[in-house]
Structure 1
Amino acid sequence: MATIRERPRKDGGITYTVLWRDGGTRTGKQESEIFPDTLDKAEEKAALFKGLVDMHDQQWPPGWVRGKGFVQEQTQSDRGKDMPFLVWATRRIDKLTGIEERTRADYHRDLLNHVAGVLVHTDVDGKVTEATVSNVTQDDITDWVRAQEDGLVSPEDPEQWSRQPAAPKSIANRHGMLYGIFQAAVEATPPLRAGNPCSKTKLPRADAGTDEEMVFLEHDEWQRLRAELALINGGDGIDIGDVLVATGLRWGELAALQVKDLNLAGSTPTLSVHRAWKRQKDNSLKLGPPKTKKSRRTLALSASTVEILRRNIVAKGPDDFVFTTAWGNPWRHSNYYNRRWLVAVRNAQAKGFQKSPRLHDLRHTHVSWLIAKNIPLPAIQARLGHESITTTVDRYGHLVRALDGEIVAAIQAAMAADDGPGLRLVERLA
């Protein structure tokens, strides 16, 4: 198998060199490919290339140009030919447009860690072969999903995992990536395959497990956590918590709020969401557009929320952030979560508090309070910035069951109306 050797350079950097012998024999020619750390994610790219070499029996991956990667376009004679799936998938990810570089790096990581060596083709006679663009079937995708669910126990230590079982949401995300890659093969000119093997996959139910289950807080439960926040560092975390639960904003949206986004005058004060903090592939943060187009939205504010916002923008200019630390810097999620939120939750639990809410659960709590007040789901969708009403219904539709009494009462009142057609029909039948 190929190996990766880390070699320090005179300038203090590191070069990752993938080494192997041609054909995997001891007498085969020594081959190598170099990935200096001046490249983005050099270590990950070296690991991906090593996987490609191993998948191709210690040969250069087809289409790879030494020192350049997959830079050669297919020639006319190559078009329509089959190729290893990893080669095609790597090319398609590199060519994707309209995505953030962090997302591209995540796709390459998932391809290396969860597809390479896991997605294979099984012939009708049971023989397992390398997955190619055209030979992967619906059964192969189903087998891949099951392998994701089951994980892989380490052969050296039965109590350790070589590959951890994946959560339903993670499987769905990776399946979506595979769907897009295979669809590109279907739509290629000429097509590389007739249909998409991912089109009819039955995925694990997202609600089948308990990981990251939504937590909804009652009003008195929020007050208990709020009281604990008040005891931490002079209560400087209370205002952020209050605004999160009062607006349903995502953390990245709230932390990116600037004074110019607020309109606190007039009969209907509002705040507008124009940007959010985005994590980059090097793990840094940068301001960018919100999560989706509909995430750009304007929210009406309650009087108590207006009061909170007013005191946080005193002496600040239009471009200043609304919520800042004592040093005037915008809050970071890890800072607030670890030093304020998590401390408050643990202190409350030590006093008998039964729930373990994440910071994002304040968004879910906001929705549960709106539903309890009979606010319709389409209005909630607009307030949360969901791209589709389906998202809102899937996540929060079960909470509407709490309104069954009001629904039944409304139907009963309508059927009992003196001038209702339903009543007259009953009378005629009687």
Structure 2
Amino acid sequence: MASISTRTRTSDGATTHRVMWRQDGKQRSLTFVDLQSAMRFKRNVEAHGPREALAILDIVDSDAPALTLGQWMDDHVAGRTGLQGATRDKYERFAEKAFPELRDLPLAAVTEAAIGGWVQRQEAAESSGKTIQDKHAFLSGVLKAAVREGKIDRNPCEGRRLPKTLRQEMVFLSRAEFDKVHGRITQERWADLALWLVSTGMRFGEATALRAEDIDLDRAECRITRAWKHDTGRKRTIGPPKSKRSVRTISLPTQAVEVVKRRIADPTVDEVLFCNSAGTAATTQEFYNRAWLEARKVLAPRAPRVHDLRHTCASWMIGAGVPLVVVSRHLGHEDIGTTSNVYGHLDRSSYDDAAAAIGKVLG
């Protein structure tokens, strides 16, 4: 039999739950920070014996140190396959630095209460909601893998409510507003890039990885199979686009076709169409600093981002009555749900058509 005693620490006022049992003629105990874990361990002691209960928790005597969360995290990241360099770097940083209070805990002692305390400390440190969400998602993935491997019986991250962060509002430009901004960009290469982004809706990393052979001028089509990525050490490398759906062929408006013709005729263009004067592929920061930052001031106090050119393209297509599924495929979204969540509020014509259809049936 086992018993539980609860007490409040005078040092910090925290409540702990101590499970006590006898093993090999000696009184043994284990302290938990939440009652649910203590009761679960007590049930395992009574049902399976103390050694099996300790094995379930992955907590063993000092002569065989318990597997800690930090050890499991490091092994999990090292064993992951299919990670691009920048993603692996981020995961390694998270594993090493994001959970200092949790790394030394035995894996099975990482309870809901322990994770709740970590979230509260992140909030107290004024970490953004997005940062907390990213780190928590990583931790949840690590613990989910531990569940699959039988290291723990459940993922204590599941069901956790996290602080939210305000998403920066998208800016949709009207045609007149885009013309104002575009007219302020004096260098042809940067003006062409802005026009390409708004007329195709491509991601910046996709657009600046394009080569002449990716364009079929006769058919006015563009095949998108590449995008810039950040590898280990934040070095840019060419890789596949964001998702399987992002590998796509899109039709080009006349204005985009003219942009391609001008880029091909530019003597500085070598491997990629959108480059700087040295022939190197343009970067977001370079385009922003040399063209966009100054040009967008014409719309002050509005401050559209470079990525808002993609949003603007989507809004123009939806405003013209292009079906949402076509917009989704054009933008390279993984599924139409993404498109609907981001741009569904703009699709008023479909709602009007739906109401008209019901009216016709009833009429």
Residue matched to 2:190? 237
SS at match of 2:304: coil
Confirm whether residue 276 of structure 1 aligns to residue 223 of structure 2: no
Residue matched to 1:22? none
Q: Does the CA-based 8 Å contact 1:260-1:319 persist in structure 2? A: no
Cα distance, 1:404 vs structure 2: 3.8
Cα distance in 2 between the residues matched to 1:392 and 1:249: 14
SS at match of 1:110: helix
**1:160-179 alignment to 2 at 5 Å?**
164-167=126-129, 169-179=130-140
Cα distance, 1:403 vs structure 2: 5.2
SS at match of 1:141: helix
Amino acid at match of 2:118: W
Q: Does the CA-based 8 Å contact 1:134-1:193 persist in structure 2? A: yes
SS at match of 1:236: helix
Query: Which of 341, 351, 362 in structure 1 is aligned with 2:309?
Result: 362
SS at match of 2:234: coil
Residue matched to 1:258? 211
Q: Does the CA-based 8 Å contact 1:258-1:318 persist in structure 2? A: no
Amino acid at match of 1:192: K
Confirm whether residue 144 of structure 1 aligns to residue 118 of structure 2: yes
How many equivalent residue pairs? 303
Residue matched to 1:212? 168
Cα distance, 1:96 vs structure 2: 0.9
**Unmatched tracts of structure 2, length 5 or more:** 1-54, 60-65
Alpha-carbon distance change, 102 to 227 in structure 1, aligned in 2, over 3 angstroms: same
Residue matched to 1:202? 161
SS at match of 1:358: coil
Cα distance in 2 between the residues matched to 1:273 and 1:343: 30
Cα distance, 1:174 vs structure 2: 1.9
Q: Does the CA-based 8 Å contact 2:269-2:279 persist in structure 1? A: no
Cα distance in 2 between the residues matched to 1:318 and 1:262: 15
Higher mean Cα deviation, 307-316 or 193-202? 307-316
Residue matched to 2:7? none
* Deviations 1:204-245 (CA, angstroms, capped at 9, x unpaired): 44xx52x5322221221111111111xx3x343111111111
Cα distance in 2 between the residues matched to 1:187 and 1:114: 23
Confirm whether residue 87 of structure 1 aligns to residue 71 of structure 2: yes
Confirm whether residue 111 of structure 1 aligns to residue 99 of structure 2: no
Cα distance in 1 between the residues matched to 2:112 and 2:349: 40
Cα distance in 2 between the residues matched to 1:238 and 1:315: 14
More helix by share: 2
Query: Which of 182, 201, 205 in structure 2 is aligned with 1:226?
Result: 182
**Percent sequence identity over aligned pairs:** 33
Cα distance in 1 between the residues matched to 2:277 and 2:290: 14
Cα distance in 1 between the residues matched to 2:290 and 2:268: 28
Cα distance, 1:317 vs structure 2: 12
Residue matched to 2:151? 192
Amino acid at match of 2:176: D
Alpha-carbon distance change, 238 to 315 in structure 1, aligned in 2, over 3 angstroms: closer
Cα distance in 1 between the residues matched to 2:264 and 2:84: 31
SS at match of 2:265: coil
Cα distance in 2 between the residues matched to 1:202 and 1:114: 19
Cα distance in 2 between the residues matched to 1:345 and 1:318: 26
Cα distance, 1:315 vs structure 2: 7.3
**Unmatched tracts of structure 1, length 5 or more:** 1-76, 121-129, 153-163, 417-430
User: How big is the alpha-carbon RMSD for the aligned residues of Structure 1 and Structure 2?
Assistant: 2.7
Alpha-carbon distance change, 195 to 309 in structure 1, aligned in 2, over 3 angstroms: same
Q: Does the CA-based 8 Å contact 1:151-1:166 persist in structure 2? A: no
Alpha-carbon distance change, 395 to 116 in structure 1, aligned in 2, over 3 angstroms: farther
Q: Does the CA-based 8 Å contact 2:189-2:274 persist in structure 1? A: no
**1:304-319 alignment to 2 at 5 Å?**
304-314=255-265
User: Runs (4+) of structure 1 moved beyond 4 Å?
Assistant: 79-82, 315-319
Amino acid at match of 2:127: P
Q: Does the CA-based 8 Å contact 2:270-2:279 persist in structure 1? A: no
**1:19-418 alignment to 2 at 5 Å?**
82-117=66-101, 119=102, 131-148=105-122, 150-152=123-125, 164-167=126-129, 169-188=130-149, 191-205=150-164, 208-209=165-166, 211-229=167-185, 232=186, 234-266=187-219, 269-314=220-265, 320-346=271-297, 348-349=298-299, 353-401=300-348, 404-416=351-363
SS at match of 1:240: helix
Q: Does the CA-based 8 Å contact 2:226-2:239 persist in structure 1? A: yes
Cα distance, 1:363 vs structure 2: 1.0
Q: Does the CA-based 8 Å contact 2:228-2:238 persist in structure 1? A: yes
SS at match of 1:179: helix
TM-score, scaled to structure 2: 0.76
Q: Does the CA-based 8 Å contact 1:101-1:281 persist in structure 2? A: yes
Higher mean Cα deviation, 270-279 or 216-225? 216-225
Q: Does the CA-based 8 Å contact 2:68-2:107 persist in structure 1? A: yes
